[in-house]
Amino acid sequence: MKKNSFKINVYDAGDVASISVACKLASKTLDYLESQVRVGVTTKRLDELCEKFILDHGGIPACKGYQGFPASLCTSVNSVACHGVPDDVPLQDGDIINLDVVVNLNGWHGDTSRTFPVGTVAQRHLDLINIARKAMYVGIEAIKPGSRFNDIGIAVSRYINSKKGFCLIKEFCGHGIGRQMHEEPLVLHFPISKSTSLIEPGMCFTIEPIVSCGSSNTIQMKDGWTMVTTDRSFASQFEHTIFIDEEYRPNILT
Ligand code: MF3
Ligand code: CO
Ligand code: CO
């Protein structure tokens, strides 16, 4: 592993193989949890299942204890934009829930999240989920030889802005990942005016836009974690960890 002039880690093939195994476990954990999402299940139960699944597969749930986070899984229901703390409230028909998993396997991290519908969900909220998923893929597909991080932000925000009634929550961003859950750089989902780094082979980072169908701002709940949209409109997020190969192509690891 070496660092470029912008302090972004550049990983060799062996490192990427290790990160990839961690990412595969994170993704498998989400597949498993998806099968457990239903009306009546509590987010605490999903958290327990998540922790057991990761430990049973030789990993460590990286969120637990991260800056004091109390659980293995972020469970963000309805108007919770992100960092929802699992609790004893059962999921209800019509809810949407984002599950965000970070696995540490042999000292390497994989980070991924998806939003799932619970029972029968309003069409507007199904639209929200589909727009959030597509926004992530638009960001991934924006990466070409010669791209800068700003090109991801341009593409994601242009896509979301084309959807009337939906907006990007700019307060949260993607990030480099590897030995640490959060590394340089910040991966913004909107453009900035100052110059950003070139995206180069060996870089490993997440793209994880959060889309709201109302307010683009959030407030933190008293638990110090749960971030809720100010107008309590629903929000949805998807996240992949990707790495950039020698041909400058984004490879989805999760
Ligand atoms: N998974 C989140 C991310 O996408 C981070 C979770 S914060 C934690 O970056 F405290 F829950 F770990
Ligand atoms: Co992340
Ligand atoms: Co995450």
Write the pLDDT tens digit of every residue in 187-212.
999 999 999 999 999 999 999 999 99
Averaged pLDDT score across all residues of the chain: 97
What is the tens place of the pLDDT at every residue in 89-146? Answer: 999 999 999 999 999 999 999 999 999 999 999 999 999 999 999 999 999 999 999 9
Pick the CATH number of 8-244 from 3.40.50.720, 3.90.230.10, 1.10.1050.10, 1.10.630.10: 3.90.230.10
DSSP state of 85: P
With 80 as the cut, is the pLDDT of residue 1 above it? no
CB of residue 100 inside a 6 A radius of ligand 1: yes
CB of residue 111 inside a 6 A radius of ligand 1: yes
Tokens of 172: 């949260």
The confidence band for 4, taking pLDDT boundaries of 50, 70 and 90, is low
4, 47, 229 from 206: Cα distances, Å: 18, 22, 22
Q: What does the pLDDT read at residue 235?
A: 99
With 80 as the cut, is the pLDDT of residue 5 above it? no
Q: What does the pLDDT read at residue 84?
A: 98
- CA-based nearest residue to 189, from 149, 129, 148: 149
Neighbours of 202 (CB within 10 A): 19
Q: What does the pLDDT read at residue 166?
A: 98
Whole-angstrom distance, CA of residue 104 vs CA of residue 9: 18
Whole-angstrom distance, CA of residue 126 vs CA of residue 74: 21
**Residue 118 Cα, ligand 3 centroid: separation in angstroms?**
20
CB of residue 6 inside a 6 A radius of ligand 1: no
What is the tens place of the pLDDT at every residue in 153-193? Answer: 999 999 999 999 999 999 999 999 999 999 999 999 999 99
CB of residue 195 inside a 6 A radius of ligand 1: no
- Residue from 69, 73, 101 whose mutation best tests the ligand 1 pocket (most atoms within 8 A of CB): 69
CB 9 within 8 A of CB 197: no
Please give the share of the chain, as a percent, with pLDDT higher than 90: 97
